[in-house]
Amino acid sequence: MNILVTGGAGYIGSVCVEQLLNRGFNVVVVDNLSEGHRDAVDTRAVFVEANIEDSDAIGAVFKKHSIDAIMHFAALALVGESMEQPGRYFKNNVYGALNLLETGRIAGIKKFIFSSTCATYGMPERVPITEDLPQNPLNPYGESKLMFEKILSWYNKIYGLEFVAFRYFNAAGATEKFGEDHKKETHLIPNVLKVVLGKKEVCEIYGTDYPTPDGTCIRDYIHIYDLVTAHIAALKPGIVGFYNLGNGDGYSVKEVINMCEKVTGKKIPAIERPRRPGDAPKLIAKADKAHCDLNWKPQYPSLEKIVSSAWEWHRKHPDGYKR
């Protein structure tokens, strides 16, 4: 089976490419390297440097390769940035994705697997969050993902095209070869580990006055290997719809920092900062639907294992993919 992976040079995409190849799939990666790294693309994959908004380049990929399914990871994904540059977010995450979907549909793909986000829920009316809760995004990033979820539903209704949209909670951790290296790092775990590596002086805690037991935000962290195995399970014909991917456990920012101290054996200095705009106090998934329909079970649900794998990777790659 031939899979087109967009964003295969990025954090989650690179691990997905690796795991698809390990299981005998053929993989074509499309990535414009705006965020991704050429060295993060598994050497066994075919690599095409192209932008998903470029119809000619995407059309040429489908002409050259007979693609059975698309896994679409390429996206802009920073909440704060989306509040400053909404146009870029809608253009890439909606227009670019639609270009890919329409070209793939005409070429006869059987399935479209999409990286959506729990940011589509906004402030959830209850936690844990089930897939049927109202979606009211708080920022253009979440809105752009929700818009594309709706486009996928229409393509299913009108053309019968199978899709799976995964609403990720907090992706974290690494495999032995591939890990997290963003040009502008905003995520909690890599930022805390950077302090241990001496790349940052202190870690910052954004908000200590949330209505949570220690006042800091609670998130549901999921190992990227587990995220990826759900995508591979979703290739099965007949699986269609929206699925949360999380572990169902919540950890506060302070608990995550404590776990990083435990795993690295180092005291990590932290300073308290004001709240970051757009952050919900508590986001925890109920992922029973994925367990049940996809027969999917996370292998690394413990925060300690997630942080340990991230630490292993960052220790070996203190400068990320830079050689």
Residues annotated as catalytic are: 141
Q: Which is nearer to ligand UDP, 99 or 216 (CB)?
A: 216
**What are the backbone angles phi and psi of residue 40, rounded to the nearest 5°?**
-90, 0
- At closest approach, how far in Å is the CB of 248 from ligand UDP? 16
Nearer to ligand UDP, 25 or 210 (CB): 210
The CB-nearest residue to ligand UDP is 217
Alpha carbons within 13 angstroms on the beta-carbon side of residue 156 total 18
User: CB within 8 A of 63, min separation 6: which ones?
Assistant: none
Would you say 67 or 284 has its CB closer to ligand UDP? Answer: 284
Angle of helix 253-264 versus helix 188-196 axis, rounded to 10:
40
| CA distance linking residue 129 with residue 125, whole number of Å | 8
Q: How near is the Cβ of 118 to ligand UDP at its closest, in Å? A: 8
Burial of residue 9 (CB within 10 Å: 0-12, 13-18, 19+) is buried
* 201 exposure class (CB count in 10 Å sphere: 0-12, 13-18, 19+): exposed
Q: Could you tell me the smallest distance in angstroms from the CB atom of residue 276 to ligand UDP?
A: 4
For the bound state, the minimum distance from the C-beta of residue 252 to ligand UDP, rounded and expressed in Å, comes to: 9
Identity of the residue, 1 or 133, whose beta carbon is nearer to ligand UDP in the bound complex: 133
Closest by CA position to 270, among listed 257, 260, 281, 259: 257
Q: Which amino acid is at 108?
A: G
Residues in the chain: 323
What's the min distance (Å) between Cβ of 206 and ligand UDP?
4
Smaller CB distance to ligand UDP: residue 3 or 217?
A: 217
Interface with ligand UDP by CB under 6 A: which residues?
79, 170, 186-188, 191, 203-206, 217, 219, 253, 276, 279
